[in-house]
Amino acid sequence: TFVERDGTVVNHRGLAQLIRRAVRGPDGSRPDSRILWELSGRSGLFQAEALRAEIAAAIPALTNLTDPAIRTTGVLLGAPQPAAAQTT
């Protein structure tokens, strides 16, 4: 559940905030972020900051994920660009 994990959430206004684990999961359980880290073929410790930087580099609207203010007050993300009109 959300109380068992650290992560980043984005609300309806585009404010990204960090969330911190409030309780430990059952013994032997691993957080979903760690499982995805391993499935992606990465080794070593899961590094949320490094992953946020990769995401921000790949998706321009998420550039502010690397702003240090995300740790305290959160950061506003860039507005998504409208999709190009499709013609049939």
Tens of pLDDT along 23-55? 888 888 888 878 888 898 888 888 888 888 888
Would residue 84 count as lying in a domain? no
Would residue 83 count as lying in a domain? no
Q: 0.85 exceeded by the pTM?
A: no
Would residue 82 count as lying in a domain? no
Q: How far apart are CA 47 and CA 40, in angstroms?
A: 13
Would residue 86 count as lying in a domain? no
* Cα torsion through 34, 2, 69, 16, rounded to 10: 100
**Confidence band of 80 (pLDDT split at 50, 70, 90):** low
Q: How far apart are CA 53 and CA 28, in angstroms?
A: 29
How many structural domains compose the chain? 1
